[in-house]
A = this chain, B = another copy of it.
Amino acid sequence: MPPATDPMTLLRAVNDSAAFNRWCGFEVQRALPGEVELAMPWRAELGQYSGFLHAGVVGALIDTACGFAAASQVGSRLLASHFAINCLRPAIGERFVAKARVLRVGRQQVFTRCELYAHEQGREKLVATGETLLCVMGTAATA
């Protein structure tokens, strides 16, 4: 029974081992091979000067969800090379959910895509989108 083949077990372990993820309050709420949902409750410390979710945290959620979607399919020997975020609306909500999925697994690279939703008073709203390109590390390689 290799635990590494269960994406939820793998990703919760990775998530727990990352100090920043714990501080942010990231929770792996769904994990299938190539498809991950990462949630985070709102807290005031996550805000920028207007009280919206900080764009940096928007990016961190999306980048992390994308990395987890990739890891759920090819394992955790991955490094993010590039990520890009579109901020469609001010990120205001009680809870945020990043839904990421793998677009393509190549020999050396994994392409992923993500939507970030804000939940507020029972409504779900798309607030940001993003994409990540990850590099599959060789035996001793880095990007």
Show the binding face of A for B, using Cβ within 8 Å: 14, 17-21, 23-24, 44-49, 54-57, 59-61, 63-64, 67, 76, 79-90, 103-104, 106-109, 111, 113, 126, 129, 131, 133, 135, 138, 141-143
B143 touches A88 (CB 8 A): yes
- Name the CB-closest residue of B to A47: B19
Chain B residue nearest to A60 in the complex (CB)? B56
With both chains docked as a complex, state the minimum distance between the C-beta of A75 and any C-beta of chain B, in angstroms. 13
Q: Which of B60, B86, B141 contacts A81 (CB 8 A)?
A: B86
Pull 6 A–B residue pairs with CB atoms less than 8 Å apart, ordered by A.
A20-B54, A55-B80, A56-B63, A59-B59, A87-B143, A90-B142
Q: Taking the full assembly, how many copies of this chain does it contain? A: 4
**When A and B form their complex, which 7 residue pairs have the shortest distance between CB atoms, in order from nearest?**
A56-B60, A59-B59, A84-B84, A20-B54, A88-B104, A107-B141, A17-B49
In the complex, which of the residues B14, B20, B104, B111 contacts A56, with contact meaning CB atoms closer than 8 Å?
B20
Inter-chain pairs besides A56-B59, A113-B129, 4 sampled, C-beta below 8 Å? A21-B48, A82-B86, A82-B133, A86-B133
Contact assessment for B83 and A82 in the assembled complex, using a CB-CB cutoff below 8 Å: no
When distances are taken between beta carbons in the complex, the residues of chain B under 8 Å from A56 are: 20, 24, 56-57, 59-61, 63-64
Contact residue among B20, B59, B131 (Cβ-Cβ distance under 8 Å from A45):
B20
Set of chain B residues within 8 Å of A87, measured between Cβ atoms: 79-83, 143
